[in-house]
């Protein structure tokens, strides 16, 4: 009799548990889109097979800061994508868990849901944010882990299985779900509250230097930055496209060309956003410039001719458009207004 009662109680418990698993519905995440983005841009890209949920974003955040994802459990995503640096680091190249260095500068992470072509990283090799999140875990010069081991660690963890169950409806963890959670979190990293954003909303004024710097940025005869780096009407401050911006006459890293196999793409790299530059030095895909002055001088008089240099790089033969010292200084002053201190401050408390 006792045996029967036990079996009945057990089956009741089992049925309750599986029912809970079946009926748990994650809460839809309300992405806070800055008003300028909502006014000016098409909708952010949220894949239908990875909609944002409160539980998914929270799980992605926990994973982002967790060293369990690296081979020797010493590094997390945040090791190279530090919130205080707009989710990049301040090194030219980042050292992975083995102490080896990559050959690309760590990219900052924000406004990634507005990358409409969904080609991520400097050379566009990852088509989707989920794939971008998937790759560094096993990259030997980054986290150098084995997905099976990482999944096993998470599966054996006291909290993760239930967090995955709440986010994705299953206790069984796999690399796809880890990547999905990370991508969900990354899509919530939104920077849209710089001084210039406030200026556009009528909440701040620019100094004469900053205003002239913006004019240099928008003037086809001077900076002509707007063709690749957005404008007051494109608050991403990037076109998310790939260009050869005249850094080299010959290439040691062919960038997009290695991904497409097309020699016409050699030396092309993604235009990075110009938001948050004061937090993201050094600059360029290989972090060759340590200051904004060096960057501006490159475009002004340092352009190198090559077969694939973008036609938008004017006067290559003269090294560039040769800005005056004042225009250079003012351009820098304007660029600094794109820094979003509020984003850094909020990000600092994420971990």
Partner 1 sequence: MKKYIAVFCVVLSLLISCTDEVENTTVTLNFTHNWDGVPVTNKDFNKFKFTNANGEEISINRLRYVISNVSLINTTNHFLIDLGENTGMSIPVSNIETGTFDLKFTFGFKDSENKDGIYQDLNSANFNVPGMLGGGYHFMQFDGKYIDTDNEEANFNYHAIRAVNRENPDELVFQDTSFEVNLGKVNINNNQIEIQMNIAEWFKNPNLWNLNELNTVLMPNFEAQKLMSANGKSVFSLRE
Q: Tell me which residues touch partner 1 (CB under 8 A).
A: 40-42, 114, 116, 215, 218-221, 224, 226-228, 230-234, 239, 264, 305, 307-317
- Per-residue burial over 228-258, b = 16 or more CB atoms within 10 Å of its CB, e = otherwise: bbbeeebbbbbbbebbbbbbbeebebbbbbe
Q: Least distance (Å) from partner 1 to the CB of residue 317?
A: 7
Tokens found for residue 346: 């909020």
Tokens found for residue 233: 């009407």
Q: Look up residue 317 and give its DSSP letter.
A: G
Q: Least distance (Å) from partner 1 to the CB of residue 110?
A: 17
Q: Strands of the chain (E only): list them.
A: 119-120, 126-127, 242-243, 269-270
Q: Give whichever of 16 and 312 is closer to partner 1, judged by the CB atom.
A: 312
Q: Least distance (Å) from partner 1 to the CB of residue 34?
A: 14
The answer to whether 159 is a known catalytic residue is no
Q: Give whichever of 23 and 221 is closer to partner 1, judged by the CB atom.
A: 221
For tokens 């409409």, the residue is 116
Instruction: Answer for the pair 52, 168: CB distance below 8 angstroms, yes or no.
Output: no
Q: Which of 130, 142, 186, 210 is catalytic?
A: 142
Q: Give whichever of 56 and 230 is closer to partner 1, judged by the CB atom.
A: 230
Q: What angle do CA 173, 176, 179 make, to 5 degrees?
A: 105
Q: Is 48 left (phi over 0), alpha (psi -120 to 50) or beta?
A: alpha
Q: Least distance (Å) from partner 1 to the CB of residue 104?
A: 24
Indicate which residues carry an active-site annotation. Answer: 142
């Amino acid at each position: 009799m006792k045996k029967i009662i036990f079996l009945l109680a057990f089956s009741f418990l089992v049925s309750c548990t599986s029912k809970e698993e079946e009926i748990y519905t994650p809460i839809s995440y309300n992405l806070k889109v800055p008003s300028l983005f909502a006014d000016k841009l098409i909708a952010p890209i949220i894949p239908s097979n990875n909609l944002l949920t409160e539980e998914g974003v929270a799980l992605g955040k926990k994973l982002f800061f967790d060293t369990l994802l690296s081979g020797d459990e010493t590094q997390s995503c945040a090791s190279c994508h530090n919130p205080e640096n707009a989710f990049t680091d301040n090194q030219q190249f980042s050292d992975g868990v083995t102490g080896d260095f990559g050959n690309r500068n760590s990219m900052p992470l924000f406004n990634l849901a507005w990358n409409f072509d969904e080609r991520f990283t400097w050379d566009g090799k990852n088509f989707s944010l989920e794939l971008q999140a998937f790759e560094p875990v096993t990259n030997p010069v980054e986290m150098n882990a084995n997905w099976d081991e990482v999944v096993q660690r998470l599966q054996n963890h006291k909290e993760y299985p239930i967090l995955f169950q709440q986010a994705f409806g299953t206790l069984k963890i796999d690399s796809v779900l880890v990547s999905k959670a990370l991508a969900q979190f990354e899509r919530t990293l939104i920077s849209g509250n710089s001084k210039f954003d406030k200026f556009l909303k009528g909440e701040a004024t620019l100094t004469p230097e900053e205003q002239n710097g913006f004019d240099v940025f928008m003037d086809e005869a001077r900076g002509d930055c707007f063709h690749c780096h957005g404008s007051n009407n494109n608050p991403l401050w990037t076109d998310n496209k790939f260009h050869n911006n005249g850094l080299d006459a010959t290439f040691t890293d062919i960038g997009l060309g290695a991904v497409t196999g097309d020699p016409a793409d050699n030396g092309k790299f993604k235009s990075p956003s110009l938001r948050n530059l004061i937090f993201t030095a050094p600059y360029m895909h290989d972090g060759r410039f340590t200051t904004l002055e060096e960057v501006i001088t490159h475009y002004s008089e340092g352009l190198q001719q090559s077969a694939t240099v973008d036609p938008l790089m004017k006067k290559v033969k003269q090294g560039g458009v040769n800005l005056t010292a004042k225009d250079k200084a003012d351009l820098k002053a304007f660029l600094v207004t794109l820094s979003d201190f509020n984003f850094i401050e909020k990000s600092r408390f994420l971990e």
